[in-house]
Amino acid sequence: MSSNRKILVLPGDGIGPEVMAEVVRVAEWFDKRRIASFDMTEDLVGGAAYDAHGTPLHNDTMARALAADAVLFGSVGGPKWEHLPFALRPERGLLRLRKEMDLFANLRPALVFDALIGASTLKPEVIQGLDLMIVRELTGGVYFGEPRGVELLADGTRRGINTQVYTTPEIIRVARVAFELARKRRNRVCSVEKANVMESGEMWREEVQKLRDSDYPDVELQHMYADNCAMQLVRNPKQFDVIVTDNLFGDILSDCAAMLTGSLGMLPSASLGAPDASGRRKALYEPVHGSAPDIAGKNMANPLACMLSFSMMLRYSFDLAEEADLVDQAVKRVLDAGIRTGDIMQPGMKKVSTREMGDALVQELEALAA
Ligand code: IPM
Ligand code: MG
């Protein structure tokens, strides 16, 4: 079977390589069972790339990412590299990928599996059946705005600067993704900013409203301040369908949404660029969790967020909806069978390692494909 599905695999640092190893096994299973084949290449990113090349993202790796059909990303960062100057930090590798691939739309679904309701810190009735999608703007805002930096003042004190900047096209293209997604879901968008204190926030609100009125009058649009949204997410998260917000608020709110599902170890994400002439989008898939240095290398991490990111890749980049469903089903069945990594462990369940979770997944895939 020939494959034009070129995937660049970037495991990164911390638990990244461990969780990615299980995903690669599942990809290989698809190949072995002749269900789908992939052309996978692995490379370094983050601290691992810094240790090997003195940069968190080698130019060759950047070029490979731009040439790939999809990038599968683990996680970056760790105490070992925290002392480095900003430009060399592991996180810069990820930010460069997002920026140069122009991945402006970051989709972060928060979905509660029935089997995991008890793993959440929230009451079951608050989260049962939760299914929301955060669309986070990913290449603008305060993450990339200029001027930025720290300057020394004449009196010896310092001044730290970061800038929140958004243009009309930047807002519109990400809002469009949110409205399109809403149409395939429950048809509701909540746009989040701080229009009460930030001019850029007020403008965000106006642009999103204008786009809705002109192109998506059938979609229900609500506006919310970011602080209120954080509160509403833990108070009554089921009120939301699609949330669209800027880079920084999206970063914060998606960690919050992730925890509603029981663990950061469960939340996948897809970062998408604009479709080209053939309809193809540049794309990077990554778990929302970080490198978790405290448990790295211990075979304890939950590989499911990375696994579900792989499933998003099948769905969004390769149009392999059935195969994506297979992975999602296998994850559900593993959870239903009471198999848990430490982060989602509950009384009476079976605690397993990263590797054993991978074993269980492949077993369920075998059963589903039989
Ligand atoms: C995320 C992460 C990143 C971010 C870090 C690792 C740069 O927290 O993807 O949410 O802040 O965007
Ligand atoms: Mg984050």
CATH numbers and ranges of domains, the chain: 1-108+267-370 (3.40.718.10), 131-260 (3.40.718.10)
- pLDDT tens for each residue of 104-144: 999 999 999 999 998 888 999 999 999 999 999 999 999 99
Whole-number average pLDDT of the chain = 96
Distance, in Å, from the CA atom of 61 to the CA atom of 194, rounded to the nearest integer, reads: 37
Model pTM? 0.93
CB 351 within 8 A of CB 123: no
In this prediction, residues 297-318 reach a mean pLDDT of 97
- Quote the ligand 2 centre to 247 CA distance (angstroms): 10
The reply to whether 227 belongs to the active site is yes
H helix or E strand, kind and range, residue 312: helix 304-316
Instruction: Clarify whether 255 is annotated catalytic.
Output: yes
50 catalytic, yes or no? no
Element (H, E) at 131: strand 131-137
For position 370, what pLDDT does the model report? 87
Residues in the ligand 1 pocket, defined by CB under 6 Å: 91, 94-95, 251, 288, 290
Distance 18 CA to ligand 1 centre (A): 19
Tens of pLDDT along 188-211? 999 999 999 999 999 999 999 999
Q: Looking at the predicted structure, is the pLDDT value of residue 256 above 50?
A: yes
In whole angstroms, give the CA distance from residue 247 to residue 245.
7
Q: What is the structure's pLDDT at 2?
A: 45
Among 251, 282, 316, 343, which one carries the catalytic annotation? 251
Catalytic residue among 13, 50, 69, 143: 143
Q: Is 160 exposed, middle or buried (0-12, 13-18, 19+ CB in 10 A)?
A: exposed
**pLDDT band of 1, cuts 50, 70, 90:** very low
Percent of the chain surpassing pLDDT 90: 93
Mean pLDDT computed over 278-284: 92
Give the lowest-confidence range in 187-201, 226-240, 261-275: 261-275
**Binning pLDDT at 50, 70 and 90, where does residue 3 land?**
low
Give percent of the chain with pLDDT exceeding 70: 99
Whole-angstrom distance, CA of residue 22 vs CA of residue 73: 13
Residue with tokens 């930096």, as numbered in its chain: 149
218 carries an active-site annotation:
no
Candidate list 43, 194, 316, 328, residue with the active-site label = 194
